[in-house]
């Protein structure tokens, strides 16, 4: 009987310790989350205080024919002796139909840009939370994870801003069914497209890191990725053809970096598998 009571006491103590450990983890995560939110808010405030300049010189810049990317494409087209990369002249007329539309847009833009600016810090905070739960060899395999996640995300955002967005804007601004129609673009519609492109590409460019960890735990293999290589190429070409003018040169300029990203992911998966074989 005494043995049974002792065993029950041990189980109760173990249960209390487990509950305390869980609460400690929740509390630690809460503070990591709070610090991340504070940095996002701080970055958002900085953006909000400069919202007029940011909107004019950054967000609306790709909507003007004198945007730097259009000059790059014109020079590249002349060097290649083709007019396919010349965006031509276009104009966009923006309008706002809601009384508080511009005010609310300022908050939305400030938060999204604050999130983009704070992304490296947010990644670092979550890495600090996860790191104590990992083994030494797992930490070694994750060396540089904060840098690569931040670098790839920012690279994807810049790729969308300087390459994808200009092609998309130029194509849709120049496309017309009839000269009788005049385009008056809702500012919210334009901003939604820009933010979707930049954040979407930022996430897509994280593919090598995702493949690295999925290969580490055995879910992905280079053979599996090679098997679906044709499907990946088709999907990338379809996406590129939708967001660019209907000529193959423009499509390939957008598609080639994405195809290289997929091939790089296959190579990373291959290297991970090779290292695991040597270790075993």
Is the same domain home to 255 and 276?
yes
Is the same domain home to 215 and 128?
no
- Which residues form the domain of 263? 210-280
Is the same domain home to 67 and 186?
yes
Among 205, 225, 253, the domain-final residue is: 205
pTM: 0.80
Is the same domain home to 58 and 159?
yes
Please give the sequence-ordered ranges of beta strands (E in DSSP) within the chain, or none if there are none.
93-95, 184-186
Phi, psi for residue 218 in degrees, rounded to 5? 85, 10
What is the residue-level pLDDT of the chain in tens, covering all 280 positions? 444 434 434 444 444 444 447 677 777 788 889 999 999 999 999 999 999 999 889 999 988 888 888 888 778 777 877 666 666 677 788 888 888 888 899 999 999 999 999 999 999 998 888 888 777 877 787 788 889 999 999 999 998 899 888 888 887 887 778 777 877 888 888 888 888 888 888 888 888 888 888 888 778 788 888 888 888 888 888 877 776 656 676 677 778 888 888 888 888 888 888 877 777 6
Neighbouring-strand partners of residue 185: 94
Q: Can you give the pLDDT at residue 14?
A: 44
Q: Can you give the pLDDT at residue 147?
A: 92
Write the DSSP symbol of residue 56: I
Nearest 5°: the CA angle 123, 129, 134 is 110
Is the same domain home to 172 and 264?
no
In total, how many domains does the chain have?
2
Is the same domain home to 201 and 216?
no
Among 205, 229, 260, the domain-final residue is: 205
Neighbouring-strand partners of residue 172: none
Is the same domain home to 171 and 93?
yes
The kind and range of the H/E element at 17 are helix 2-49
Q: How many CB atoms lie within 10 A of CB 144?
A: 8
Q: Can you give the pLDDT at residue 43?
A: 95
Among 205, 230, 257, the domain-final residue is: 205
């Amino acid at each position: 009987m005494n043995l049974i009571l002792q065993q029950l006491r041990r189980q109760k103590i173990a249960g209390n310790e487990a509950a305390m450990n869980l609460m400690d983890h929740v509390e630690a995560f809460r503070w990591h989350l709070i610090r991340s939110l504070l940095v996002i808010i701080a970055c958002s405030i900085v953006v909000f205080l400069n919202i007029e300049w940011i909107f004019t010189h950054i967000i609306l810049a790709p909507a003007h024919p004198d945007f730097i990317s259009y000059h790059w494409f014109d020079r590249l087209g002349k060097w290649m002796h083709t007019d396919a990369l010349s965006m031509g002249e276009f104009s966009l007329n923006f309008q706002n139909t809601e009384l508080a539309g511009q005010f609310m847009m300022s908050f939305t833009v400030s938060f999204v840009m604050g999130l983009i600016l704070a992304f490296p810090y947010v990644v670092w905070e979550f890495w600090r939370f996860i790191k104590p739960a990992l083994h030494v060899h797992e930490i070694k395999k994750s060396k540089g994870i904060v840098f690569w996640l931040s670098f790839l995300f920012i690279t994807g955002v810049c790729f969308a801003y300087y390459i994808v967005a200009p092609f998309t804007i130029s194509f849709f601004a120049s496309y017309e069914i009839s000269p009788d129609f005049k385009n008056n673009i809702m500012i919210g519609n334009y901003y939604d497209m820009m933010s979707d492109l930049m954040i979407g590409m930022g996430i897509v460019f994280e593919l090598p890191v995702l493949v690295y960890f999925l290969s580490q735990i055995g879910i992905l293999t280079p053979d599996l990725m090679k098997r679906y290589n044709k499907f990946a190429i088709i999907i990338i070409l379809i996406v590129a053809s939708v967001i660019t003018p209907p000529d193959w040169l423009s499509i390939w300029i957008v598609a080639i970096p994405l195809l290289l990203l997929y091939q790089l992911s296959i190579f990373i998966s291959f290297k991970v598998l090779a290292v695991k074989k040597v270790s075993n």
